[in-house]
């Protein structure tokens, strides 16, 4: 397979964002990402899925890459990132090597961060996770799908023209609500759920 069905290719070209993940073959992601890049469509890659390094060919087409801390080691080809300083140093190196990429890091109970190059310097913005202590009517049920919900929510906020700070806050809320229900599909919150728990 060297090209996508024309209907799929047209859908990508006519979209503002293409959100990819690694549970489909890498070569399909590469083909789709290349089409998106040529059309000016933003490409976001959620690194969840296959436990293997990313290809350089795919990386060249990605605008935002979204790993959790374990998956980050897969992205940068380095094990043992134990401290904040380790993460900051290696993300800086990765971005300076791939200056077109922004790193959207999912940090579980520690919240989320985005790193990107701006005016020659690495900019870093973080938002804390939400706590069950502040929401005693909710409880941790199942973490399945939380990362997918987070990255999908971030893509939604990018479509709406939000800044990174607002997008991180919203995505943290969505990821938090996801873990209060069982199952990857049933646990995906609606916007109304977010507004009910956190307000508009």
Helix (H, G, I), strand (E, B) or coil at 90: helix
CA distance 200 to 191: 10
Looking at the domain assignment, is residue 38 inside a domain? no
Looking at the domain assignment, is residue 42 inside a domain? no
Beta bridge partners of 65: 45, 103
CA distance 62 to 170: 22
Q: What is the pLDDT of residues 138-166, one digit of tens each?
A: 999 999 899 999 999 999 999 999 999 99
Beta bridge partners of 43: 18
**pLDDT score, position 49:** 82
Report CA-CA distances (Å) from 131 to 11, 57, 134, 172, 174.
Answer: 39, 39, 6, 11, 13
Looking at the domain assignment, is residue 143 inside a domain? yes
Looking at the domain assignment, is residue 101 inside a domain? no
Q: What is the pLDDT of residues 69-84, one digit of tens each?
A: 889 888 887 777 778 8
> Can you tell me which residue has the tokens 């939000």?
162
Looking at the domain assignment, is residue 171 inside a domain? yes
Other CB atoms within 10 Å distance of the CB of residue 159: 12
Looking at the domain assignment, is residue 145 inside a domain? yes
> What confidence tier does 181 reach under pLDDT thresholds 50, 70, 90?
very high
Q: Hey, what are 74's tokens?
A: 């897969």
What's the domain count of the chain?
Answer: 1
**How much is the pTM?**
0.93
8 Å CB contact between 73 and 46? no
Query: Is a pLDDT exceeding 70 seen at residue 123?
Result: yes
Rounded to an integer, the average pLDDT of 124-136 is: 94
**pLDDT score, position 79:** 77
Question: Is 148 designated active site?
Answer: yes
Which residue of the set 10, 148, 163, 193 is catalytic? Answer: 148
Looking at the domain assignment, is residue 110 inside a domain? no
């Amino acid at each position: 397979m060297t090209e996508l069905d024309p209907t799929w290719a047209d859908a990508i070209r006519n979209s503002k964002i293409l959100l990819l993940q690694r549970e489909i073959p890498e070569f399909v992601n590469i083909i789709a990402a290349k089409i998106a890049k040529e059309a000016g469509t933003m490409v976001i890659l959620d690194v969840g899925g296959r436990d293997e390094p990313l290809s350089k060919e795919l990386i060249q087409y990605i605008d935002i890459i979204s790993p959790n801390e374990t998956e980050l080691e897969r992205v940068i080809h380095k094990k043992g990132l134990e401290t904040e300083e380790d993460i900051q140093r290696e993300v800086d190196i990765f971005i300076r090597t791939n200056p077109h990429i922004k790193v959207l890091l999912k940090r579980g109970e520690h919240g989320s961060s985005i790193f990107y190059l701006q005016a020659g310097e690495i900019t870093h913005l973080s938002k804390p996770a939400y706590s069950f202590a502040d929401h005693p009517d909710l409880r941790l049920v199942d973490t399945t799908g939380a990362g997918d919900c987070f990255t999908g929510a971030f893509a939604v906020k990018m479509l709406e023209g939000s800044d990174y700070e607002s997008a991180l806050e919203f995505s943290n809320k969505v990821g938090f609500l996801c873990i209060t229900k069982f199952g990857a599909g049933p646990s995906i919150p609606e916007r109304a759920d977010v507004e009910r728990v956190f307000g508009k």
